[in-house]
Amino acid sequence: MMFLNLRRTLSCAIFLYLLPGCKNESASQALSADTSLAASPGAKQELILLNQHYGDDSLQTADIYLPAGRSPKRTHLMVFVHGGGWMGGDKSDFSAACEGLVRNTTFSPAFAYVNVNYRLVKDGKNKFPTAEEDLVAAMNYMYAHADSFLVSPLSALIGASAGGQLTTLIAYKHNEKKNIKCVVSNWGPYNLARMYKEGSSGVPDLMVVVLGATPSENPEIYAASSPVTYVSPDSPPTFLAHGKQDSLVRISQGNELDSVLSKNKVPHVFYTFDGYHGYSSDQVANDAADKMFHFIAKYTTE
């Protein structure tokens, strides 16, 4: 019953916050940045910590949603990473989803939710690998504070678009501790040199701004920032979702990662649907969410 309700709520969250053009409201009744854990009400009560600094830069923040009844044995981490072309977007894209998930008392002890902001490319600053380094720092922050938060460091990562690139990159490249048990990516790019070559109008220019060069000028940075580079038989199980008609991040990106995962015998699901850069209907979104939930539950509860 607990997991059935989690599936339903996760379905609503994915439908509302991955469907193109949807908006949300920020979380309420939460503690401000860097609230002392000593002042927290303890594991019996829900605790929401907004704008927690995981690094020295003011932009390196995360919202942490700790459920009532949590414990290190049964409460894992679900980490959300927003999209926006590495130049836009914000963790507020997932704020209401995380608040709704943590406040569902039927299943809430199963996961704590972490909603991450990372530094965006702006005015020539924060080019790759800045965002990658921020996500590594955010995960290390959660691992270091897991005992204090009364949660397990075992985690599932969920990203959309640019956030999908970042979650898969972290899962494949920076999982030395084996804490990342699975990763979910919605319409993310996985081979950035291919993205440059096959992208629609404006995409090549975007890639140059974000990475600082063309693939011919600096093939190393493109390879180092591409999740496909780091897939191995030890990579965590992966759930991919991609629209067949996506013209921004073409489905060839998903096809390539699907193939590489298969060659390395990594457990994975490649969910494709008729649509563009985002779920096109509630039916598709809820079907995808149902499959995502079962995937996450399988690999975080084994």
pLDDT for 105 equals 66
pLDDT digit string (tens) for the chain, length 302 residues = 334 444 444 555 554 445 444 444 333 345 444 444 434 456 789 999 999 999 999 999 999 999 999 999 999 999 999 999 999 999 999 999 899 889 876 566 899 999 999 999 999 999 999 999 999 999 999 999 999 999 999 999 999 999 999 999 999 999 999 999 999 999 999 999 999 999 888 999 999 999 999 999 999 999 999 999 999 999 999 999 999 999 999 999 999 999 999 999 999 999 999 999 999 899 999 999 999 989 999 999 76
What pLDDT, on a 0 to 100 scale, did the predictor assign at position 18?
A: 53
| pLDDT of 293 | 87
* The predicted structure's pLDDT at residue 29: 41
* Residue 33 contacts residue 137 (beta carbons within 8 Å): no
Residue 6: its pLDDT value, please?
46
- Residue 37: the pLDDT is 44
Q: What is the CA radius of gyration of the chain?
A: 18
Query: What counts of helices (H) and strands (E) characterise the chain?
Result: 9, 8
Own/partner long-range contacts of 46-53 (Cβ < 8 Å, ≥24 apart): 46/102, 46/103, 46/108, 48/99, 48/102, 52/141
In the chain, the domains with their CATH numbers are 2-300 (3.40.50.1820)
pLDDT of residue 44: 82
pLDDT at 1 (0 to 100): 36
pLDDT for 285 equals 92
Q: What is the pLDDT of residue 106?
A: 59
pLDDT value, residue 109: 81
CA distance 28 to 95: 10
Q: How far apart are CA 242 and CA 247, in angstroms?
A: 11
Distance between CA atoms of residues 241 and 256, nearest Å: 13
C-alpha angle 103-105-107 in degrees, rounded to nearest 5: 105
The predicted model scores a pTM of 0.89
